Chain A
Amino acid sequence: MKVVVVGGGPAGMAAADAAVAAGADTTVVDGEPVLGGQFHRGDPRRVDPRVRHVADATVWAVEGTRLHVRVGPDGAGRRGLVLDADAVVLATGAHDRVVPFPGWDLPGVYTAGAAQALAKGQGVAVGKRVVVSGTGPFLLPVARSLIGVGARVLAVCEANHLTGWLRHPVVDPGKLAELAGYAAVLARHRVPWRPRTAVVAAHGEDRVTAVTLARLSPEWTVVASRRVEVDAVCVTHGFTPRLELAVAAGCALDGGVVRVDDRGATSVPGYYAAGEITGVGGARLAAAEGALAGAAAAGARWVTGELKPGRRFGAALAAVGSSVRAGASRASADEGLSVGGVSGGLGSAAWSDGRSSSGAATGRRAPADGGSSVGGVSGGLGSAAWSDGRSPSGEATGEAAGRRAVAPAEDRLPAGEVAAGRTFAGAWAESRSSARELRSGRRFAGAWAGLRACARELKPGLKVGVAWAGLRWSVRELRSGRKVGVVLAAARSSARAVPRGQGFAGAEALLREVRRGRRFAAALAAVHPVRPGWRTWLTAETLVCRCEEVPRCRLDDLGPVGVRTLKLRTRVGLGWCQGRMCLVNAVELADVRPDEAAVHRRPVAGPVRLGELADNPEENP
Chain B
Amino acid sequence: MEHVVVVGSGIIGAACAEALSAAGVRVTVLDRGPLAAGTSAAGEGNVLVSDKAPGPELDLALESLRQWPVVLDRIGRDVEWQPKGGLVVGTGVPLDAFAAGQRAAGVDARTITPAEAFEREPGLTREVTTAVHYPQDAQLHPVLATTALLDAVRGRGGSLRPGVAARGLDARGVVTDLGVVTCDAVVNACGPWAGEVSRLLGAPIDVRPRRGVVLVTAPVAEPVRHKVYDADYVGAVASGDADLRTSTVVESTPAGTVLIGSSRERVGFDAAIRVVVLRELARKAVRLFPGLAAVPVLRAYGGFRPYAPDHLPVIGPDPRRPGLWHATGHEGAGVGLAAATGALLAASMLGTRTAVDPAPFRVDRPGVALCG
Contacts and interface: CB of A to CB of B under 8 A. Distances in A.
Q: Does A touch B (CB under 8 Å) in the complex?
A: yes
Interface of A: 61, 63, 68, 248, 250, 548, 559-562, 564-565, 568-569, 571, 574-576, 578, 593, 602-604, 607-611, 613-614
B294 interface: yes
A607 B298 contact: yes
8 contacts: A61-B278, A603-B301, A604-B297, A607-B218, A609-B294, A610-B215, A610-B260, A613-B215
A574 B36 CA distance: 17
A608 B299 contact: no
A604 B300 CA distance: 6
B221 interface: no
Interface centre among B35, B257, B295 (most CB of A within 10 A): B35
Nearest to B260: A610
A61 B286 contact: no
Interface string B213-229: 00101100000000000
A394 B147 CA distance: 66
A614 B246 CA distance: 14
B33 interface: yes
B48 to A, nearest CB: 20
Contacts of B359: none
Contacts of B275: 61, 63, 68
Interface in B80-139: none
A578 B297 contact: no
Contacts of B144: 568-569
Given A564-B37, A610-B260, A610-B294, 18 more contacts: A68-B275, A250-B272, A561-B34, A564-B41, A565-B41, A569-B143, A569-B144, A574-B255, A593-B33, A593-B162, A602-B299, A603-B273, A603-B301, A604-B215, A609-B293, A610-B285, A611-B292, A614-B283
B162 A560 contact: yes
A250 B298 CA distance: 20
A565 B143 contact: yes
Interface residues of B, number: 40
Nearest to B302: A603
A447 to B, nearest CB: 53
Contacts of A560: 34-35, 162-163
A522 to B, nearest CB: 32
B255 A562 contact: no
A562 B33 contact: yes
Nearest to B9: A565
Contacts of A576: 218, 298
Interface of B: 33-37, 41-42, 141, 143-144, 147, 162-163, 215, 217-218, 255, 257, 260, 272-275, 278-279, 282-283, 285-286, 292-302
Contacts of A569: 143-144, 147
B143 A568 contact: yes
A610 B35 contact: no
Contacts of A61: 273, 275, 278
B9 to A, nearest CB: 10
Contacts of A611: 282, 286, 292-294
Contacts of A564: 34, 37, 41-42
Given A565-B37, A565-B41, A610 B295 contact: yes
A63 B272 contact: yes
A613 B298 contact: no
A61 B279 CA distance: 12
Contacts of B41: 562, 564-565, 568
B37 A614 contact: no
B297 A609 contact: yes
B88 to A, nearest CB: 21
A613 B287 CA distance: 13
A609 B299 contact: no
A565 B300 contact: no
A615 to B, nearest CB: 8
A453 B255 CA distance: 59
A593 B34 contact: yes
Nearest to A577: B298
Contacts of B147: 565, 569
Contacts of B36: 565
A604 to B, nearest CB: 5
B297 A562 contact: no
B279 A614 contact: yes
B295 A578 contact: no
A562 B146 CA distance: 14
A610 B217 contact: yes
Nearest to B160: A559
B297 A603 contact: no
B37 A610 contact: no
Given A578-B299, A609-B297, A610-B293, A593 B163 contact: yes
A603 B296 contact: no
A578 B286 contact: no
Contacts of A565: 34-37, 41, 143, 147
A559 to B, nearest CB: 8
Contacts of A68: 275
A578 B294 CA distance: 19
Contacts of A548: 255
A602 B255 CA distance: 19
Contacts of B33: 562, 593
A610 B286 contact: yes
Residue from A250, A548, A571, A613 whose CB has the most chain B CB atoms within 10 Å: A613
B37 A613 contact: no
Contact of B298 (A63, A248, A604): A604
